[in-house]
Amino acid sequence: MSAGPLIFAMPGNAVAAGALAGMLGWERGELEVHAFPDGESLIRALPAAAGRDAVLVCTLDRPDAKLLPLLLAADTLRDAGARRVGLVAPYLAYLRQDRRFREGEGVTSRYFARLLSGHFDWLLTVDPHLHRHASLAAVYSIPASAVASAPAIADWIRRTVEVPLIIGPDGESSQWAAEVARLAGGPSVVLEKQRRGDRDVAVSVPDVARWMDSTPVLVDDIVSTARTMIATVHRLKAAGLRPPVCVGVHAVFAGDAERELRAAGVQALATTNTISHPSNAIDVMDLLAFELRRLLA
Ligand code: R5P
């Protein structure tokens, strides 16, 4: 019988890799990224993965600096004779540029997918930002699976929030908001958003008079500049609703975003642990482990 899968953590991913390996009873490998003085990287992965499935764990917020070492690590494992080399990226970046919005721009979601597809045999992530791409298969040429965080978020809401009103800040969030509302057993509303620039967002709120006794729970997939959530918090408060609870799947939090969001007057802030952040209150590692076991069965 061949040995089971080996799980390796890219730098910064030891907690997630350890949790997955522990839940699955799989062996943890050690992966070292040595930075030479000239800025190049050398990867060393032990034990050698010859004939075994190798799983690299690397969440892909701030992706540009992570990408080259990740691709080099995948090639190192393949060279060592790994049977298959897979990627667990709890947060998968580069999905928002899903079309050419202005003349001369690149469709980077496709280019990024092409790079990863050229180095890995399969990919697993959590709630990828799919808007104009209907599925990961529309951009990734390798088997690419996604785990939904909605059950974990709904469970947290049921335990933490009384009389929740689930709110999606824009059409793109309706897929998460509706599912979370269904599982949490509350109503949901989806707002309209206009993004005029990286940090310039306007949100319009419909008539919410009948929900004055509810606790608004904003649910969005990515919190980056937090401008979407901040604009929504202001509009909900202006409409007379209580200070909202904000739930984000992926805690990207660029720059000062977390402080600015809290300063907007939120009742609570919770994120999942797809990206390690102090606001992580919702654990999705068991959902990932379940899917990972199924994938490599
Ligand atoms: C947009 O399409 C996404 O679903 C999020 O609403 C967006 O990425 C949030 O970005 P920010 O925090 O920068 O407003």
CA nearest ligand 1 atom 13, residue: 225
pLDDT above 80: residue 62? yes
Determine the distance separating the centroid of ligand 1 and the alpha carbon of 34, expressed in angstroms.
Answer: 34
Q: Which residues of 126-146 are buried (b: 16+ CB within 10 A; e: fewer)?
A: bbbbbbebeebeebbebebbb
pLDDT confidence bin for 172, thresholds 50/70/90: confident
Contact 76, 68 (CB under 8 A): no
pLDDT digits (tens, 9 = 90+) for 107-147: 999 999 999 999 999 999 999 999 999 999 999 999 999 99
Higher pLDDT, residue 184 or 1: 184
pLDDT of residue 77: 98
Average pLDDT on 4-17 reads: 98
Backbone angles phi, psi at 70, to 5 degrees: -65, -45
Cα dihedral 66→71→72→78 (10° resolution): 140
Q: Is 193 in the pocket of ligand 1 (CB under 6 A)?
A: no
More confident residue, 175 or 216: 216
Residue 35: pLDDT band by 50, 70, 90 thresholds?
very high
CB 249 within 8 A of CB 127: yes
CB of 221 sitting under 6 A from ligand 1: yes
Residue 111 CB coordination number (10 Å): 12
- Separation of 46 CA from ligand 1 center, angstroms? 39
**pLDDT digits over 196-207, tens only?**
999 999 998 888
Q: Check whether 223 has a pLDDT greater than 60.
A: yes
Nearest-5° Cα angle at 155, 288 to 96: 55
Can you read off the two tokens belonging to residue 291?
A: 């899917």
Q: Does residue 119 have its Cβ closer than 6 Å to ligand 1?
A: no
Per-residue pLDDT for 1 more than 60? no
Which of the listed residues 167, 228, 259, 262 should we mutate to test ligand 1's pocket, taking the one with most ligand atoms within 8 A of CB? 228
The secondary structure of 38-75 as a DSSP string is TS-EEEEEES--TTSEEEEE---SSHHHHHHHHHHHHH
**Ligand 1 pocket check for 218: Cβ under 6 Å:** no
**DSSP E strands, 76-142:** 84-89, 122-126
Quote the mean pLDDT of the chain: 96
Q: Cβ–Cβ contacts within 10 Å for residue 51, how many?
A: 11
What is the rounded CA–CA span in Å between residue 213 and residue 46?
57
* Cα 255-256-259 angle, rounded to 5 deg: 150
- pTM of the predicted model, to two decimals? 0.96
Per-residue confidence (pLDDT) for residue 176, from 0 to 100: 85
Report percent pLDDT > 70 for the chain: 99
Question: Residue 207: what pLDDT?
Answer: 87
Locate tokens 């401008």: which residue? 227
Q: What are phi and psi of 111, to 5 degrees?
A: -70, -40
Give the mean model confidence (pLDDT) for residues 162-175. 92
CA distance 158 to 296: 32
Q: What are phi and psi of 79, to 5 degrees?
A: -60, -30
- Model confidence at 2, pLDDT cuts 50, 70, 90, reads low
For 120, the enclosing helix (H) or strand (E) is: none
Residue 80 has pLDDT above 60, yes or no: yes
Question: What CA–CA distance (Å, rounded) separates 22 from 119?
Answer: 26
Cα of 68 from ligand 1 centre, angstroms: 26
Calculate mean pLDDT across residues 77-94: 98
Residue 262 amino acid letter? R
